[in-house]
Amino acid sequence: MAPHLLLHHHHHLLLLLLLLLGPLPYVSSVGINYGTLGNNLPSPKKVAQLLQSTLIDKVKIYDTNPEILEAFSNTGIDLIVAVENYHVGNISKDVAASDEWFATRVQPFIPATSIVAICVGNEYLTTTDENLDPDALVQAMQNLHAVLLKRGLDRKIKVTTPHSMAVLASSFPPSSSTFATKLLPTMSSIVGFLADTGAPFMVNAYPYFAYRDNPSSVDMEYALLGNSTGVHDPKGYIYHNMLDAQIDAVRSAIDAVGFGNMSIEITVSESGWPSKGEPGDTAATPDNAKTYNTRLIERAQSNQGTPMKPKAKTEIFVFALFNENKKQGDTSERNFGIFNGDGSKVYSVDLSCEFCSNGGAFEKMSWTSGRVRGPSVWCVAKPHADEKVLQTVLDFCCGPGGVDCREVYESGDCFEPDKVHAHASYAMNAYYQMHGRNYWNCDFKGTGLVTFSDPSKLWDMQVSSAVIQKAKAAAIAHCIGSGSAVQ
């Protein structure tokens, strides 16, 4: 086939691929909490590698552990970091203290690590530590937001704080729920801040605790997110699971402080079920934990709202990734994990995902296995894209875009073939993976193309009649499909 006809053929192959795939339906993200209070846990690098092969695309941690932040660089997984409760007072003092915290804890890892939120404290207002000042929480949040605003990062990184359900005076009926009286001034300030900055209201919601503490008055299926007969709210809402009722209770409390007309999203920052508890705790079993977390993940992916707000999406973070054998508290606190410290599953939960590496074959992989490929979706340069525009795109990605382009420099493994299209595809894909694989991160002035087929297969198919080009094609396929940007 003549070269110009070959290129034309390539273009049609790619268009056909996109037409066959069609537009993908929006699927809500599934997050997970990654706690590290254990002495038998896998390395952060292995955790990050293997989570790329699952449907988990957001990970929430409880500090700014540099090893974890480094491990999740260029994975396409969003990270939510935290200011520890004991450190909130320090960064509440002034913006300069907050700036120093951000500059040392977060700035060195972005944009390679996709950090999308900072949680200031965790259940800060309902902790038993009397030395924590409620006013410090609001000031710390405002200071951190000022730092992000100054650095031009306030749209990418949001500031919020996770609450326990104990910030509510009562949670039932959901329609009449309010914040606890003593917390009203602080909660009003926090909700106002979230409304002004577009950050979500985070709540840690656990139907397990409600059932465990009141087994005679709470239906097990209702707590396990099952489709029970339904619990009626005086305003006509019918709840078939407790989590929806808890979310709507928070929504009512937000409305009660005067922000009902604001579009404040509610995120379930923690929810889960333990597989083991104290003697006599009949609720904490592997079967119940499997049932709850399976339904929770389905709930997170479903895009469904709640009875009070059926069209409102709710982001959910499962608690937790691992059993943490050094965590304080009763037995259940150490047994919320889907995985044991050695990487074996406590019970089977389907975390596979259609467009992940290895076909999402997470079940077959070991925590001690070696190299794991990244997600099977790539951004490449369109075959007929203008080379001048591609050069501009290449300059952006390798400069302000933050991509490490050493591989396509003259001494790099991906320098050959020395073509703008090849180099641009490498840089575009690295940028795309780095920023979370959103379609808008592969536009590049109309020169980018998202593909769900391995570039190595595409290139093999496209150059099969040109033996001389096979070596170059293999090099390009390696760099785009298996290079450092997608590991």
Residues identified as active-site: 123, 270
- How far is it, in rounded angstroms, from Cα 54 to Cα 65? 22
d(CA 303, CA 285): 28
Torsion of CA 477, 479, 481, 485, to 10 degrees: -170
What string of H, E and C letters represents the secondary structure of the chain?
A: CCHHHHHHHHHHHHHHHHHHHCCCCCCCCEEEECCCCCCCCCCHHHHHHHHCCCCEEEEECCCCCHHHHHHCCCCCCEEEEEECHHHHHHHHCCHHHHHHHHHHHCHHHCCCCCEEEEEECCCHHHCCCCCCCHHHHHHHHHHHHHHHHHCCCCCCCEEECEEEHHHECCCCCHHHCCECHHHHHHHHHHHHHHHHHCCCEEEECCHHHHHHHCCCCCCHHHHCCCCCCCEECCCCCEECCHHHHHHHHHHHHHHHHHHCCCCCCEEEEEECCCCCCCCCCCCCCHHHHHHHHHHHHHHHHCCCCCCCCCCCCCEEEECCCECCCCCCCCHHHHCCCCECCCCCECCCCCCCCCCCHHHHCHHHCCCCCCCCCCCCCEEEECCCCCHHHHHHHHHHHHCCCCCCCHHHCCCCCCCCCCCHHHHHHHHHHHHHHHCCCCHHHHCCCCCEEEECCCHHHHHHHHCCCCHHHHHHHHHHHHHHHCCHHHC
Chain centroid to CA 358: 20
Tokens of 484: 């450092």
Task: Give the span between the Cα atoms of 140 and 303, in whole angstroms.
Answer: 32
